[in-house]
Structure 1
Amino acid sequence: MELLKVNKIKSKVSGNVDITGSKSETNRLLILQQLYPNLQIENVSNSDDSVLMKKALTSTSSEINIGHAGTAMRFLTSYFAVKENSEIVLTGSHRMKNRPIKILVDALISLGADIQYLEKEGFPPLKITGKKLTKDFVEIDGNVSSQYISSLLLMAPTLQNGLQLKFKGEITSVPYIKMTLSLLASLGIELSWDDDSISIKPKPIIEHKKVVVESDWSSASYYYSLVALSPNSEVKISSYKQNSLQGDSVLATIYENLGVETTFNEHTVTLKNTGNLNPSKLIDLNLIGAPDIAQTIVVTCFGLGISCFLTGLHTLKIKETDRLVALKNEIEKLGGEVEITNETLALKPSTQINENVSIATYDDHRMAMAFAPLATKVSIVIEEPNVVSKSYPTFWEDFHKVTL
């Protein structure tokens, strides 16, 4: 097992970091680029997930293994379902073979897709025979992973009759659905979202279009945490937009309550520790629209010695690992106290943090990066540190740039 000792940071946290393009935007645009070759993309994410997505889309093999890349699995399922005259086996890691995909497959089959399970019912690997889909109506639960919904929306404009997608029940992860719709609209695709229904008009071709991917807000969260945990700190990150498509941009508002001021200057964002933290204030958040920043927020609150209560976390159980269980395990090794349910996490305030604890990362990039900022308080050890390459390959290099 590879271990990385992160010694307690004794210097002031400061510096500039250029963060790669958003993985979420990039992976959507890579699918759209295959559907619409006139699309040009700049500032593409260098994450493992995006590299795997690009490789899968250009592969000539009859079997594609996407490892741990959940976004790729979901988006490619719909892509290959509508790619006429193709037959592909889509598989992944052991963990991927235990991540459910039945809801998406059922939706595609209802549209006429030809998809078979090769091992366990409801889970990858999948055998997908691409064909022309003429049906234009599908119904799906609103509280499922937004990636299922985005997967359907991305291929919708290439269908002969477009698509009407009707939701059953409450819709979750709305920002990610809005991101997908915004990217479609930017290509001139006609669409509408009325209450519980999204309609996408067919558009077989688009004019030449260039899209510049905004940097990844999930990756920015670790610098918010660093600044919150380090008095008098200031870090500049780029390139970001104040009116972002990414749901995780809510970080700017959330971290105001954790003592971090956000200032937008053209494409650069300055994060500054203001010291304005009320230790008695409970951080009570519904992260249904931004679940990927839950780990960062929990670790920040633990480092600050304050409590937090997070809801809307039901999708965390089917990520790279069960992130709720993983958070509870590692925070408690550090001396904290955490209570979880299937969709909530409650952290109790702590007065001390155990030193030199070895943090298990569970093949989950966000576990490694979320716990790294605790080095502002104590020395820690990160197990399998290179797992960060899934979304942010240069994380440790950039982390040391602002902490040395």
Structure 2
Amino acid sequence: MDLRLKTEDFNSGTHITISGSKSESNRLLILQQLYPDLQIENLSNSDDTHHLQGALTSDNTIADIGHAGTAMRFLTAFFATQEGVTKVLQGSDRMHNRPIEILVNALHDLGADIEYVEKEGYPPLKISGRKLTKEKVSINGNVSSQYISALMLIAPSLEKGLKIELVGKITSVPYINMTLQLLAQLEVEAKFEGQVIKIKPKSTVEKQTIVVESDWSSASYFYSIIALSKVGSSVKLSAYKKDSLQGDSCLEEIYKHFGVTTTFKENSILLTKEKEHSSAVLKEDLKNAPDIAQTIAVTCFGLGIACDLTGLHTLKIKETDRLEALREELTKLGADISVTNESLHLKPSLKIKENIQIATYNDHRMAMAFAPLALKVSLGVLEAEVVTKSYRNFWKDMLSVGIQNVTIK
């Protein structure tokens, strides 16, 4: 599905309800398998979460998780602990080119039985579940936090718990802390001090219900829309809270640069364009929130201001090489942009080219990050259905705020 986007009238004051955080939902689904007395409300309706649920509830030997990187990492660790269960985890072509060797090596060190079906270091994986008895493991701290969280989620189910030593610089700390705080809600004893995470074993938990907060990554596109709108424009988003577990909640502070204020209401936030954006270069280290880099870069381009974004090394191994994809698509629109292996540098732009077709590279965030530019110019989005990976109602919600999307293919 290819779309043509344009905006005639922005519907200020619209109220949008966004589904639960994919990051929280996927962690809780693994924990629910370990502790069946846990109930979950407001689960994400993303493809990633559906894939994870399907793999956890199916009796099939083969589990296909599509593009769902989180599902691949979490399920690899989970199935490695399931005695007597054999699973083959496979996914899309892109998934079969996303490295997983660091996690598999750590699980091997714990005694797991995992084989590479095709290419060494990459999915598909054949996992034969067994009892893991070792209690210590080391893993690099500067890799995807999903590897670390995968180990943390299985830790309380191990007989002796688990001590995880993080080697070197640690990135994406908020996602590690999210996992810790969800474990704490289940009264699992867990500590993160210095370079070491220690998690004690726990066999059962009290019956309880956890309500998943709505996804802050999804909120980023509305922050961008308000930033690109006229002063006085607003949108209300549910359901959010000030003491969020999600690293992407740093949007509240970052988007002040663009004149956007965030007012916390009961179970919601109100985003308002209170003043014009700053003309100063935006400089941000996004090592703790790399998923909002695309949104921020497009916002800066749409406003004609420069940015230097760093801490982006994990974007090279996402659904696509997001740094190269951003460089390619923003250049088509007229941007003066350069990227390295871990940073993006955008110079001020005076004009945005119209009617450019944005390629999405099988990456949901490419489609969604560029959509707000329709407030400035007409543009196309190719393979726009890719948004269902994390945000099934995205195009419907764009229509609600006034961004018209017409199917052209």
TM range (shorter): over 0.9
Q: For residue 60 of structure 1, what is the aligned residue in structure 2? A: 59
Give the letter aligned to residue 278 of structure 2: N
Matches within 5 A, 1:216-365: 216-231=215-230, 232-279=232-279, 281-365=280-364
Matches within 5 A, 1:384-403: 384-403=383-402
Partners of 2:22 and 2:46 within 8 A in 1: yes
Helix, strand or coil at the partner of 2:26: helix
Partners of 1:12 and 1:230 within 8 A in 2: no
What is the rounded CA distance, in whole Å, between the counterparts of 1:337 and 1:56 in structure 2? 43
Q: For residue 140 of structure 1, what is the aligned residue in structure 2? A: 139
Alpha-carbon distance, 1:268 to partner: 1.1
What is the rounded CA distance, in whole Å, between the counterparts of 2:49 and 2:72 in structure 1? 12
What is the rounded CA distance, in whole Å, between the counterparts of 2:115 and 2:371 in structure 1? 41
Give the letter aligned to residue 140 of structure 1: I
Alpha-carbon distance, 1:11 to partner: 3.4
1:29 maps to 2:28: yes
Helix, strand or coil at the partner of 2:341: coil
1:203 maps to 2:186: no
Alpha-carbon distance, 1:194 to partner: 1.4
Q: CA RMSD in A?
A: 0.8
What is the rounded CA distance, in whole Å, between the counterparts of 1:12 and 1:86 in structure 2? 52
Partners of 1:8 and 1:380 within 8 A in 2: no
Partners of 1:263 and 1:269 within 8 A in 2: yes
Q: For residue 49 of structure 1, what is the aligned residue in structure 2? A: 48
Alpha-carbon distance, 1:276 to partner: 3.6
Q: For residue 378 of structure 1, what is the aligned residue in structure 2? A: 377
Helix, strand or coil at the partner of 1:206: coil
Alpha-carbon distance, 1:381 to partner: 0.5
Give the letter aligned to residue 27 of structure 1: N
What is the rounded CA distance, in whole Å, between the counterparts of 2:205 and 2:7 in structure 1? 53
Alpha-carbon distance, 1:209 to partner: 1.4
Give the letter aligned to residue 289 of structure 1: N
Alpha-carbon distance, 1:10 to partner: 3.5
What is the rounded CA distance, in whole Å, between the counterparts of 1:118 and 1:400 in structure 2? 44
Q: Which consecutive residues of structure 1, in runs of 5 or more, have no partner in the other structure?
A: none
Q: Which consecutive residues of structure 2, in runs of 5 or more, have no partner in the other structure?
A: 404-409
1:153 maps to 2:152: yes
Give the total of aligned pairs: 402
Give the letter aligned to residue 29 of structure 1: L
Cα deviation 1:85-123 (Å, max 9, x = unaligned): 111111111000000000000000000000000110000
Partners of 1:40 and 1:209 within 8 A in 2: yes
What is the rounded CA distance, in whole Å, between the counterparts of 1:334 and 1:245 in structure 2? 35
Alpha-carbon distance, 1:65 to partner: 0.7
Q: For residue 367 of structure 2, what is the aligned residue in structure 1? A: 368
What is the rounded CA distance, in whole Å, between the counterparts of 1:207 and 1:267 in structure 2? 26
Give the letter aligned to residue 267 of structure 1: N
Give the letter aligned to residue 135 of structure 1: K
Partners of 2:6 and 2:378 within 8 A in 1: yes
Partners of 2:319 and 2:362 within 8 A in 1: yes
Alpha carbons of 1:9 and 1:367: their partners in 2 closer, same or farther (altered >3 Å)?
farther
Cα deviation 1:236-276 (Å, max 9, x = unaligned): 00100101000000000000111101000111100000124
What is the rounded CA distance, in whole Å, between the counterparts of 1:99 and 1:13 in structure 2? 40
Q: For residue 406 of structure 2, what is the aligned residue in structure 1? A: none
**Identical-residue share of aligned pairs (%):** 59
What is the rounded CA distance, in whole Å, between the counterparts of 1:8 and 1:262 in structure 2? 24
When the two structures are superposed, what TM-score results if normalisation uses the length of structure 1?
0.98
What is the rounded CA distance, in whole Å, between the counterparts of 1:239 and 1:291 in structure 2? 22
Give the letter aligned to residue 104 of structure 2: V
**Bigger mean CA deviation after superposition, 12-21 or 84-93:** 12-21
Helix, strand or coil at the partner of 1:94: coil
What is the rounded CA distance, in whole Å, between the counterparts of 2:393 and 2:67 in structure 1? 19
Alpha-carbon distance, 1:12 to partner: 4.7
What is the rounded CA distance, in whole Å, between the counterparts of 2:389 and 2:284 in structure 1? 27
